[in-house]
Amino acid sequence: MTRDEAIRATRNGAIAACISGTLTVVVMAFAISTDAEGSFALFNNPLNLVDAALIFICAFGMYKHSRTAAVVILLYFIASKAIIAVETSKAPGIGMALVFVYFYGKAIQGAFAYHRLEQQADPEYRAMSRKGGVFLGAGVLIAVLMIGFSLFSTFGVVPSTRVLAGNEIPEADIKLLEEKGILVAGDQVEFFYAQGLTSVLESGNILTTSHVILYYTEDNGKLNIYALPLDEVTAVEIEKPGTPVSDSIYIVRTETPDRWIKLFLSIEQKGDQKFVAALKARIG
């Protein structure tokens, strides 16, 4: 690969990334404006702007012939497609995805070739200024952390960031909740949300066919479980609406004034609304 070909490859990769970032913003805007569900529900979240920002950072890096940016954007793109495929049970645009993979792959080849040729021409050649390296490095670090956490969450290594329907809960989590006495063996779970970052035992809310449950583990390891039979629940009130970075808070009341619990539910993909709607349907 000649120097001109290397430059062309990294620039084409940057253009592909800009197109990908722009599509992300457009789809997100459509999903939010229409309050989309189904396949577009994943994009119905303003936090996707972070995803777009990282794509544009990598695009800038490739424009500057960054090897790191080229490698990261390819890994990030593949990971994103894998997550979408798992979440929606559909393979998202394989043909189009392969086109992006091609341009990102060529950008990697071009970036490495460019720096090799520059170093051959000038032994004192320096790939990037310190300021540019810090800027790109920060973006890469954020991208790596996001990829890792998203993959771990999607494949059940860490708790999901959204409210899960009963058929979406990993079997290992169900067994763990039963072992700890949070769930009664055989009780059918309708919705589940774990607030914990690393374990479902940290805290969470569960709706079964017979109870609504709040549980949390104190710093000293003590597990607290509060379960209200659905036939005792008289009202469900919202205390604080959620945001993309904070959970909605609901109060579940009974006829006894001092017998109530709070629900902390993610708004991702309208999970809080689905949980509460199912609870209200159960109590009539």
> In the structure encoding, which two tokens stand for residue 121, read together?
């021409």
- Say whether pLDDT at 128 is over 70: no
What CA–CA distances, in Å, run from 97 to 89, 133, 173, 177, 251?
16, 29, 33, 39, 44
CB-based contact 274:207 (threshold 8 Å): no
> In the structure encoding, which two tokens stand for residue 129, read together?
């200024």
Q: What is the pLDDT of residue 74?
A: 93
Mean pLDDT of 244-265: 93
Highest mean pLDDT among 100-114, 156-170, 180-194: 100-114
- Say whether pLDDT at 7 is over 60: yes
Mean pLDDT of 139-147: 67
Which sequence spans correspond to the domains of the chain?
Answer: 3-154, 164-283
Highest mean pLDDT among 19-28, 29-38, 88-97: 19-28
CB-based contact 259:249 (threshold 8 Å): no
Q: Binning pLDDT at 50, 70 and 90, where does residue 136 land? A: low
Q: What is the pLDDT of residue 40?
A: 65
- Say whether pLDDT at 80 is over 90: no
- Say whether pLDDT at 259 is over 90: yes
Instruction: Give the integer Cα–Cα distance in Å for 97 and 78.
Output: 9
Q: What is the pLDDT of residue 159?
A: 81
> In the structure encoding, which two tokens stand for residue 115, read together?
């720096």
Q: How confident is the prediction for the chain on average, in pLDDT? A: 86
- Say whether pLDDT at 91 is over 80: no
Query: What percent of the chain clears pLDDT 70, i.e. is strictly above it?
Result: 83
Instruction: Give the integer Cα–Cα distance in Å for 39 and 37.
Output: 6
- Say whether pLDDT at 228 is over 90: yes
Amino acid symbol at 195: Q
For the segment 95-119, what is each residue's pLDDT rounded down to a tens digit?
A: 888 999 999 999 999 999 999 898 8
For the sheet with 223-229, list strands across it: 164-165, 189-194, 203-208, 211-217, 223-229
Question: In the CATH hierarchy, which top-level class contains the domain 164-283?
Answer: mainly beta
> In the structure encoding, which two tokens stand for residue 40, read together?
């577009």
Instruction: Give the integer Cα–Cα distance in Å for 273 and 56.
Output: 33
Q: What is the pLDDT of residue 268?
A: 85
Q: What is the pLDDT of residue 12?
A: 96
Mean pLDDT of 240-261: 92
